[in-house]
Amino acid sequence: MSGKRDILITEVALRDGSHAINHQFTVEQVVSVARALDEANVPFIEVSHGDGLAGSSLQYGLSRTNEMELIEAAVSVCKQATVGVLLLPGIGTIKDLNAAVKLGVGMARIATHVTEADISAQHIARSKELGLFTVGFLMMSHMAPPEKLVEQAKLMESYGADAVYVVDSAGALLPHEVAERIRALKQSIGVEIGFHAHNNLSLAMANTLAAIQEGATRIDGSVRCLGAGAGNTQTEVLVAVLERMGIETGIDLYKMMDLAEEIVAPILQVPQEITRDSLVLGYAGVYSSFRLHAERAAKKFGIDSRDILIELGKRKAVGGQEDMIIDVAAEILKQRSAAGLR
């Protein structure tokens, strides 16, 4: 295997993929996936609850296995790969990070909403003190224009981040929107730039290629698309496409294909297709947590939940603003009545 890597891939199936299987990973599954990823020469493997360290809760979904056990298991079988964790300040704490580091983790990604980088200062600083490769992870990046994204990325850089990611959490960005965001960061920050896609609009690969073209050097993938919604950029397919383009990932394509088919596919309870639900989330550009609330409101007001989600997307509603859903539903009904549509 060539040691050369033009693009550094972080495999997120053991973190974002946790959403796809309701956080039911077992130690045995994590061991077999992490070992195969390591043997395929994947450089970074993220292991955490889907919502990051300490995400296991009634609110975000209870994990079947304590994530510290899963992290320890992954570290134990990795010979070359760096195991990383995701941490959302407000959900996970510095204490969780300290515990993960003791287990041998070498990378931490500190994630905030795209306009809230300021809450990552302490966590990024502590991650650097611990000697970790430290990533600032700007979620829901479609909700901020490039200028705002630049401002927030600069904050994370100032706190000490080694790289900043544009994260398309809702799978809502179009390729030209990804390109303009990565381009703006490239012109404004000195650290590495990464990109994390979701496939809700079938654009994960297109957006990933747009990001690479504009200078992103770190890319997230999930083997067999194991991630929230319609999943992420499918890692084994990305490796194949980049090989065809002459871009080296250092990853063994055949081993990744075999891992996807023989180890990961059997873990999936439901295949990673683009369903109506994930398509609506990508089209509206909203949090997946809004879906159930919108469906309840839709039933109550006799309207289509999609109209509610699309309106929430226009208003740039964020997590915690679930109360807005009832207001939006009531307004849609009122407008319809006024227009004589009902």
Residues classed as catalytic: 19
Give the footprint of its own copies on residues 278-297 (CB under 8 A): 279-280, 282-283
Give the footprint of its own copies on residues 9-48 (CB under 8 A): none
- Among 174, 263, 324, 330, interactor with its own copies by CB under 8 A: 174
Q: Does 118 bind its own copies (CB under 8 A)?
A: no
In the complex with its own copies, the residue whose CB is nearer, 160 or 175, is: 175
Q: Considering only 28-36, 109-117, 120-128, 249-257, which stretch makes contact with its own copies by CB under 8 A?
A: 249-257
The footprint of its own copies on this chain (CB under 8 A) covers a number of residues equal to 41
* Residue 151 beta carbon to its own copies: minimum distance, rounded to whole angstroms: 25
In the complex with its own copies, the residue whose CB is nearer, 206 or 330, is: 206
Tell me the C-alpha distance between 171 and 106, whole Å.
28
In the complex with its own copies, the residue whose CB is nearer, 65 or 275, is: 275
- Among 64, 175, 263, 295, interactor with its own copies by CB under 8 A: 175
* Residue 245 beta carbon to its own copies: minimum distance, rounded to whole angstroms: 6
> How far are the Cα atoms of 34, 277, 319 from residue 224, in angstroms, in the given order?
14, 19, 28
- Read off φ and ψ for residue 153, nearest 5 degrees: -65, -40
- Among 275, 295, 319, 324, interactor with its own copies by CB under 8 A: 275
Helix (H), strand (E), coil (C) string for 39-101: HCCCCEEECCCCCCCCCCECCCECCCCCHHHHHHHHHHHCCCCEEEEEECECCECHHHHHHHH
18 is in an annotated binding site: no
Q: Does 263 bind its own copies (CB under 8 A)?
A: no
For residue 79, count other CB atoms closer than 10 A to its CB. 8
Angle between helical axes of 305-314 and 276-284 (0-180°, round to 10): 30
- Among 6, 129, 151, 273, interactor with its own copies by CB under 8 A: 273
Q: Considering only 27-35, 55-63, 111-119, 258-266, which stretch makes contact with its own copies by CB under 8 A?
A: 258-266
Q: Are 224 and 212 in contact (CB under 8 A)?
A: no
Residue closest to 35 by CA, chosen among 70, 4, 75, 5: 75
Q: Are 296 and 328 in contact (CB under 8 A)?
A: no
Q: Does 209 bind its own copies (CB under 8 A)?
A: yes
| Residue bearing tokens 């890597």 | 5
- Among 248, 252, 258, 327, interactor with its own copies by CB under 8 A: 258
2 is in an annotated binding site: no
CB burial string 279-304: b at 16+ within 10 A, e below = bbbbbbbbbbebbebbbebbeebebe
198 is in an annotated binding site: yes
- Among 138, 140, 155, 237, interactor with its own copies by CB under 8 A: 237
Q: Does 302 bind its own copies (CB under 8 A)?
A: no
* Residue 265 beta carbon to its own copies: minimum distance, rounded to whole angstroms: 8
Residues flagged as binding site:
15-16, 169, 196, 198, 287
Residues flagged as binding site for Mn(2+):
16, 196, 198
Binding site for its own copies (CB under 8 A): 174-175, 199, 201-206, 209, 224-225, 233-234, 236-238, 240-241, 243-245, 253-254, 257-258, 260-261, 265, 271-276, 279-280, 282-283, 304, 306
Residues flagged as binding site for substrate:
15-16, 169, 196, 287
